[in-house]
Structure 1
Amino acid sequence: MEKQDFTATILVDQSPNEVFNAITNVSGWWSEAIEGDTDIINAESVYHYRDIHYCKMKLVEMIPDQKIVWLILDNYFKFTTDKSEWIGTKLVFDITKKGEQTAVTFTHEGLVPQYECYEICREAWTNYIKESLYKLITTGKGEPNPKENDGFNTELAKKWKLEA
């Protein structure tokens, strides 16, 4: 059976080391509100967006310039009936050379179409990987969700009617 985990891939001209450093700088591409260390093995960090999404993760695997894996320890979505979605899933970044370029393959292991959050999460991850992380790697400046003010998550919340 074909794997259904969400996956997104980008190709960049930067080195695997530059890519690795950008990925571990999670506040530079996902959210400025990340709390905790995101570049130390076994360290835990927390992502949250208002009362809509809370996520606690642990860096469980790190092979410099090749692979980064975070395990989702706890998660809350205001908009799902199943409050266990994402718990026990993994955020996996594989970094490989493709000729003169570097490929980044992001896989959210366990995020499958059967999940209630799948369409929203697919849209969010596509933005964060193909837009924000790509820009952080290629220009030095990503488009993470800001600590304050409106950002991509605000647009998503409005589009999917997640706020009252």
Structure 2
Amino acid sequence: MTTTDYKSSLAVQATPEVIYSALTTGIAAWWSEDYSGAAAKVNDEFTVKFQGKNLIHMRVTELVPNKKVTWTCVNFFIDVDAPIHDKSEWIGTKVYWEIGPSKLDMLHEGLTQEFECYSFCSAGWDQFLGSLKDLLNGGSGSPYKA
């Protein structure tokens, strides 16, 4: 069986500078208003929370201004109405953002269909990438409201 990582590509009406800003200083505008930390420099760490108990804690591991952003998951906890026994599956996975003119490619390396949370987590990415696309297309994002 071939393992496929979660990936998505967004066509957007934004410059690479605006896209880069959304991924480094604008995370609360599209992912979760329950955001703490920083993501503007390599080794910065940030946390997004949902429903007060679910959390994703990322470390920025690579930045190429207006071209690439990479995060590594250093802590993760999920507690949802789904049969998920390993509530820390994301730890060690990486999220790669490749920025191009009017385009943003995202790869969540390690988030595969073998993960118990794959259905739930891929649906979450779909939702929040839609929020990011709305923000980048000149509207406003729809982050999780704390």
TM-score by shorter chain over 0.5:
yes
Shift of residue 3 of structure 1? 5.4
Aligned to 1:68: 69
User: For 2:94, which of 76, 86, 90 is the aligned residue?
Assistant: 90
- Deviation (angstroms), 1:93: 0.8
Aligned-residue offset at 1:140: 4.5
| 8 A Cα contact 1:51 1:78, kept in partner | no
Given that residues 46 and 57 in structure 2 are in contact (C-alpha distance below 8 angstroms), is that contact kept between their aligned partners in structure 1? Answer: yes
Task: Compare 113-122 and 40-49 and name the one that shifted more.
Answer: 40-49
Aligned length: 142
CA distance in 1, matches of 2:116, 2:125: 15
Q: Quote how far apart the aligned CAs of 1:95 are.
A: 0.7
**SS in structure 1 of the partner of residue 111 of structure 2:** coil
Percentage of matched positions with identical amino acids: 30
Give the corresponding residue for 2:107: 107
1:1-164 paired onto structure 2 within 5 Å: 4-24=4-24, 25-79=26-80, 80-97=84-101, 102-129=102-129, 131-147=130-146
SS in 2 for 1:69: strand
TM-score by length of structure 2 reads 0.90
The change in CA–CA distance for 1:38 and 1:143 in structure 2 (over 3 A counts) is: same
CA distance in 2, matches of 1:76, 1:134: 26
Q: Is the 8 A contact 2:12 2:137 kept in 1?
A: yes
Q: Is the 8 A contact 1:61 1:70 kept in 2?
A: yes
Q: Secondary structure at the match of 1:139?
A: coil
Cα distance in 1 for residues equivalent to 2:3 and 2:11: 22
Report the secondary structure of 1:45's partner residue: strand
Deviation of 1:92 after TM superposition, in Å, equals 1.3
State the alpha-carbon separation in 1 of the partners of residues 11 and 29 from structure 2: 18
TM-score, length-normalised on structure 1?
0.80
Task: Return the letter of the residue paired with 1:118.
Answer: Y
Amino acid at match of 1:139: G
Q: Which runs of 5+ in 2 are unaligned?
A: none
Q: CA deviation at 1:40?
A: 2.2
Amino acid at match of 1:89: T
Alignment gaps of 5+ in structure 1: 148-164
CA separation in 2, counterparts of 1:134 and 1:111?
21
Residue 52 of structure 1: how far off its partner (Å): 4.5
RMSD (Å), alpha carbons: 1.6
